Structure 1
């Protein structure tokens, strides 16, 4: 089958990139021609567009209502090409993509199935028009199979308007399979969309450790430490906690994140690290500190003991759901004092849960795509 996977744009989000890679790999191994829709995250602006925006900003600046640089769009594009150089190289090498500028450019004749997921693709403020990711562009297509594989709302509260809710409720009823990534999303779908989805694993967990180790085979440099630190929100209090945990556990921290959005830093310090090097960090680590959903996931995949620092802004619902699924709720900590309450992780139990849920999810997908 020709399958189009629709997720968030691939850019510098390593977790987002790997979940698209994993879902495509799973479908391809089952004999399908799976392609990821990759909408331009940062396109090169035309000269006319840059000049038009610069004129508007100049006028606003004269009126005291504008602080954005006149030629921000061109500056942003130039910076993005540098910041994303490693992630773009991984995407180019490992993910089969097709670029569509608009959803309405997608043609029925090209596809046998549409898959939306995973990541926070159903989170309202991550989409200009939420109906797009419920396949509104394909509402009258007759012979296409529609699948939602582990999409996330990101939050445990409903964020759609009444009109959006009504539209999406109508669209989702056309789906052949609806699954979600968080337990809380099951209730949200039942209450607001009128469907009862199944709770499944994030796509990255459908692959095994050896699959990711194959991606790191060319990384020769060993990580500079034995305690991996991956923080989406590296605020001062979290960095202090990292130092405290390091001292208590006698581990040397090494950092696998870049502050890609911190414009106060030199551009060279904002370059996202290679995906392969990020994965290699989990191979080398004896302990992980993270505030990231996918930081938790890859700790589990690589069987590395870990703790999760609270990151309310990133959406805790998905982390709560993941930790609950694997009976690891004690891994969510607020301070170094919480380390005293940690139990030793029973990796045999964790791996058994993952295997069971993995084959359940693969069975669901296979049944619809036969």
Structure 2
């Protein structure tokens, strides 16, 4: 299949870039041709709010003179064209469509067709107006009435509360009704889809970064770039007065504090690359972060970590992630004063069992939509025997690519039957594996959904 991925504009955010890389990599390994919709934002002049932020952070740093220049550089250096992250995007996230900036560009993209068989929106906070701006393109408003197949994978609202206006909820609910499949990244988003958008079909899946393994990411490391015996602090925002807490902890454990953000490194004038950032997390003794994706990679790398909740950026994402792995105790509920909990061991075997199961369920969601609706979907029956469910052919059978039925010719009824097959496949597979919670991925996957 030829697939188009739509996510937030890729820039200097490590997690945003890596989740797109992971989903593209997974789909490519399955034999699909994957294109990234080159979604961009137009540059805006410096605003008064930006200048106020510069001033506020400068004042906060007055009692830490060595850091004031780093803070100013962090805020004022905005040219990422030649950064290591931009190089990664250029090399690893191609091919791309023509750049799209506004509604007219999206309309042109839809009109050109480009031969896409499926459109996928996600992951990251694509459904959060605070970051997405106008949410309608992320609900594929530009495909409305076209009959194009579209799904969401691990789309995120970012916050526990709905940030949409009443008009936006009504409009996006109408658009969501045209989706073949809906999956979301947070457990709270399942309820949001139902309550605010009238969609009761949403499925909770893993962030795309967790579809790949730790070994997959080790191939990206920059050799020799990350020292060991470090307290790795990947924090978007922490008050200067709290930094002595980190330093005291590091000194008690004979560690060196390494601090990094998503902004250019003050010493080198450019951002650490993807390989260096991943290696830093992997080699650290401990990690403290307020980043959703840093928590994801700590889980994949079996790295003792603590999650510092930055409420201005939203806490629902981190709570949902850690809850499904039984790691809510890693949240610093009382702030950095609880940092000693880093010494509390984590049962990584139990975490890995959950990861295998959740990964299998997430694979199953994608597999159910990565084939024409006429393809056979095999699901285990309650007694463990393999049952076969076929989406009946509709008008136009044989008119799709390679002589297969094109689901767009079949209409919504056949695609709904395919979705229902998936909805029942995972629970059946769990029963056939003899457990509801800890089935190995290999067994669960073979029993859940197999494309023939």
Instruction: Specify the TM-score bucket, using the shorter chain as the normaliser.
Output: 0.7 to 0.9
Q: How many residues align?
A: 337
Structure whose alpha-carbon radius of gyration is higher: 2
* 1:354 corresponding residue in structure 2: 355
CA distance in 2, matches of 1:145, 1:195: 17
* 1:73 corresponding residue in structure 2: none
Q: CA deviation at 1:369?
A: 1.1
* 2:246 corresponding residue in structure 1: 242
CA distance in 2, matches of 1:281, 1:369: 35
The answer to whether the Cα contact below 8 Å between 1:242 and 1:289 also exists between their aligned partners in 2 is no
Change in CA separation of 1:222 and 1:114 when aligned onto 2, cut-off 3 Å: same
2:142 aligns to what SS in structure 1? helix
CA distance in 1, matches of 2:82, 2:162: 32
Q: CA deviation at 1:117?
A: 0.5
Coordinate RMSD, CA, aligned? 2.6
Q: CA deviation at 1:187?
A: 1.0
* 1:169 corresponding residue in structure 2: 173
Q: Within 5 A, what are the aligned runs for 1:247-326? A: 247-257=251-261, 259-260=263-264, 271-326=270-325
Q: CA deviation at 1:34?
A: 0.9
CA distance in 2, matches of 1:67, 1:188: 32
* 1:20 corresponding residue in structure 2: 20
The answer to whether the Cα contact below 8 Å between 2:153 and 2:184 also exists between their aligned partners in 1 is yes
Match of 2:230 among 214, 226, 231: 226
CA distance in 2, matches of 1:240, 1:139: 54
- Larger relative contact order (Cα-Cα within 8 Å, sequence gap ≥ 6): 1
* 1:89 corresponding residue in structure 2: 87
Structure 1: which 4+ aligned runs deviate by more than 6 Å? 65-68
Q: Within 5 A, what are the aligned runs for 1:1-370? A: 1-41=1-41, 80-82=78-80, 85-96=83-94, 97-101=96-100, 102-107=105-110, 109-110=113-114, 111-142=116-147, 144-196=148-200, 197-216=202-221, 218-223=222-227, 225-257=229-261, 259-260=263-264, 271-333=270-332, 334-337=335-338, 339-340=340-341, 343-370=344-371
Change in CA separation of 1:244 and 1:84 when aligned onto 2, cut-off 3 Å: farther
Where does the alignment leave 5 or more consecutive residues of structure 2 unmatched?
52-75, 372-452
Q: CA deviation at 1:255?
A: 2.4
CA distance in 2, matches of 1:66, 1:299: 34
Report the TM-score when normalising by structure 2.
0.69
Where does the alignment leave 5 or more consecutive residues of structure 1 unmatched?
46-52, 58-64, 69-77
1:122 aligns to what SS in structure 2? coil
Q: CA deviation at 1:224?
A: 6.3
1:170 aligns to what SS in structure 2? helix
The answer to whether the Cα contact below 8 Å between 1:146 and 1:177 also exists between their aligned partners in 2 is yes
Change in CA separation of 1:67 and 1:254 when aligned onto 2, cut-off 3 Å: closer
Change in CA separation of 1:270 and 1:125 when aligned onto 2, cut-off 3 Å: farther
CA distance in 1, matches of 2:292, 2:38: 22
Change in CA separation of 1:352 and 1:105 when aligned onto 2, cut-off 3 Å: same
Q: CA deviation at 1:241?
A: 3.1
The answer to whether the Cα contact below 8 Å between 2:228 and 2:283 also exists between their aligned partners in 1 is no
Change in CA separation of 1:338 and 1:40 when aligned onto 2, cut-off 3 Å: closer
Change in CA separation of 1:348 and 1:317 when aligned onto 2, cut-off 3 Å: same
1:80 aligns to what SS in structure 2? coil
